[in-house]
């Protein structure tokens, strides 16, 4: 007998209240926020699926570790605990803590920046791209073609296009300081990268003399997909798979606000002594001493515990199955999503579901606004608001996909919360033709999706 009901593999011992706003109230809240969901107070959100970054519920073991955090400026035992825990899974020589993943990206970008520098990746996420571009680098995406097609079924849609990478390395070799691989591929729908692809990317890097860096904030989810989908890994533990993934890497950037259940934190890990010394020099300028790197000792202690909890197979089975439950329910409502369902979120294909809204009227943003108004659900546009480019004439060019990400915080919501989200989509489907597109009335120079102002209609 197979039991199909999803149960949370934990008990709840602390709760926080949710304010149940009305639709009329939410309409006013949207206007006050200039129709940008990042501007809405969390007190006015019923179900918050904006991001899975820093929004996890920490375990009792993590809270206990916090109480034992060592706040010494230098040589903190919490730092030693932190490094020891990481090295059980990721045996890098140098581990450099940062306050979050984008700080690790900024340090790396600052060091490699020079005229003409190019960084290939399967898909750079928004802050990764912004950090490299802010330093004058060119950030290029080389994901496989299937990764740009929401409806295409492929077990590892996050894979790097190996032929494209080989050509890229041949053409731009002298301008490439390293190759990056994002696991899982967030901007592409939370899609995993296979072990075979990681191994092949490493081989191409070796032939070209280039280090391989992993942007690894969802490493455990990626490992779980390898176990489930890749031949030869079904009988291997998540820990074994994680160790193999990182055995091919020369370095990594990490937002510990994702898989390791951190409310804050990250790190940069390296094997190169000289590069590590340069990174620590940058760290001291902007983050802090190398044994705390912008974090309190209690944060380091909580992350040390969270890293190990992230590879618990019962937890991962629950985590991935919960996302699948939401994704399959939306498909049953004929709502198009990126398929197969990814690791940390369901990505709704707003372009396909709202064909009456042109790409540069931002169907993803329009859907996110409508979803908040109908049910107080906060989501995130992953489309032309976030990733549009400009042509040689300065004209805006739409992104390849127009998605809305429903990112599930870790250990926060129960099945009834997910059922509520599904019911809101069912109601929204009845009047989706009435959803209107958006225009941007104000935007900053970079990362406009965080603070831009919109109008509908």
Give the number of C-alpha atoms closer than 13 A to the C-alpha of residue 137, restricted to the C-beta side.
27
Alpha carbon of 238 to those of 25, 235, 313, 315: distances in Å?
45, 10, 7, 11
Provide the pLDDT for residue 1.
64
Alpha carbon of 88 to those of 253, 321, 403: distances in Å?
17, 26, 36
What is the SS3 string spanning 26-93?
HHHHHHHCCCCHHHCCHHHCCEECCCCCCCCCCCHHHHHHHHCCCCCCCCCHHHHHHHHHHHCCCCCC
Residue pair 331/235 in contact by the 8 Å Cβ criterion: no
> Which of 196, 202, 252, 199 lies closest to 226, judged by CA?
196
Provide the pLDDT for residue 249.
98
DSSP helix/strand/coil, 253: strand
Alpha carbon of 63 to those of 152, 262, 294, 338, 363: distances in Å?
42, 11, 19, 36, 41
Q: Give the span between the Cα atoms of 216 and 431, in whole angstroms.
A: 39
What domains, with CATH codes, occur in the chain?
23-52+312-456 (3.90.1150.10), 60-309 (3.40.640.10)
Tens-digit pLDDT string for the chain (457 aa): 677 788 889 999 999 999 999 999 999 999 999 999 999 999 999 999 999 999 999 999 999 999 999 999 999 999 999 999 999 999 999 999 999 999 999 999 999 888 899 999 999 987 888 889 988 899 999 999 999 888 888 999 999 999 999 999 999 999 999 999 999 988 778 899 999 999 999 999 999 999 999 999 999 999 999 999 999 999 999 999 999 999 999 999 999 999 999 999 999 999 999 999 999 999 999 999 999 999 999 999 999 999 999 999 999 999 999 999 999 999 999 999 999 998 899 999 999 999 999 999 999 999 999 999 999 999 999 999 998 888 888 889 999 889 999 999 999 999 999 999 999 999 999 999 999 999 999 999 888 999 999 998 7
DSSP helix/strand/coil, 203: helix
Q: Give the contacts of 318 (CB within 8 A, at least 6 positions apart).
A: 6, 7, 8, 9
Q: Give the span between the Cα atoms of 59 and 45, in whole angstroms.
A: 23
Angle (CA) 322 306 126, round 5° = 70
Q: Give the span between the Cα atoms of 299 and 176, in whole angstroms.
A: 34
Q: What is the pTM of this model?
A: 0.92
Alpha-helical runs (H) found in 135-288: 162-172, 195-208, 219-229, 238-247, 273-286
């Amino acid at each position: 007998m197979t039991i199909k009901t999803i149960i949370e593999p934990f008990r709840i011992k602390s709760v926080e209240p949710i304010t149940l706003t009305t639709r009329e109230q939410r309409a006013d809240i949207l206007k006050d926020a200039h129709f940008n969901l990042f501007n809405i107070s969390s007190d006015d959100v019923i179900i918050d699926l904006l991001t899975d970054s820093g929004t996890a519920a920490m375990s009792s073991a993590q809270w206990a570790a916090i109480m034992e955090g060592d706040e010494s400026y230098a040589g903190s035992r919490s730092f030693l605990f932190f490094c020891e825990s990481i090295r059980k899974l990721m045996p890098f020589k140098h581990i450099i803590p940062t306050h979050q993943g984008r700080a690790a990206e900024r340090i790396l970008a600052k060091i490699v920046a020079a005229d003409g520098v190019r960084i290939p990746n399967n898909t750079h996420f928004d802050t990764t791209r912004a950090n490299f571009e802010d330093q004058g680098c060119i950030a290029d995406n080389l994901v496989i073609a299937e990764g740009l097609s929401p409806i295409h079924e492929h077990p590892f849609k996050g894979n790097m296009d190996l032929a494209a990478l080989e050509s890229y390395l041949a053409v731009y070799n002298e301008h490439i300081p390293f190759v990056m691989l994002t696991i899982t591929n967030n901007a592409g729908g939370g899609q995993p990268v296979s072990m075979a692809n990681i191994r092949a990317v490493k081989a191409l890097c070796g032939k070209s003399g280039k280090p391989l860096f992993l942007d690894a904030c969802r490493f455990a989810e990626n490992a779980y997909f390898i176990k489930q989908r890749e031949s030869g890994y079904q009988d291997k533990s998540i820990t074994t798979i994680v160790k193999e993934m990182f055995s091919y890497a020369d370095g990594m950037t990490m937002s510990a606000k994702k898989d390791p259940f951190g409310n804050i934190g990250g790190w940069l890990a390296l094997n190169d002594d000289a590069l590590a010394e340069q990174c620590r020099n940058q760290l001291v300028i902007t983050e802090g001493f190398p044994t705390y790197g912008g974090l309190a000792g209690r944060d380091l202690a909580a992350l040390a515990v969270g890293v190990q909890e992230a590879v618990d197979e019962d937890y991962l089975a629950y985590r991935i199955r919960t996302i699948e439950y939401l994704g399959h329910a939306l498909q049953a409502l004929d709502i198009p999503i990126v398929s197969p369902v990814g690791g940390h979120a369901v990505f709704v294909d707003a372009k396909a579901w709202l064909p009456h809204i042109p790409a540069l009227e931002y169907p993803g943003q329009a859907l996110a606004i409508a979803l908040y108004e109908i049910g107080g659900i906060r989501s995130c546009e992953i489309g032309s608001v976030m990733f549009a480019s400009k042509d040689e004439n300065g004209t805006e060019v739409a992104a390849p996909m127009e998605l809305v990400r429903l990112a599930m915080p870790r250990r926060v919501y129960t099945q009834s919360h997910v059922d509520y989200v599904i019911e809101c989509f069912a109601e929204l489907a009845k009047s989706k033709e009435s959803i209107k597109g958006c225009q941007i009335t104000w935007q900053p120079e970079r990362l406009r999706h965080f603070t831009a102002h919109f109008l509908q209609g």
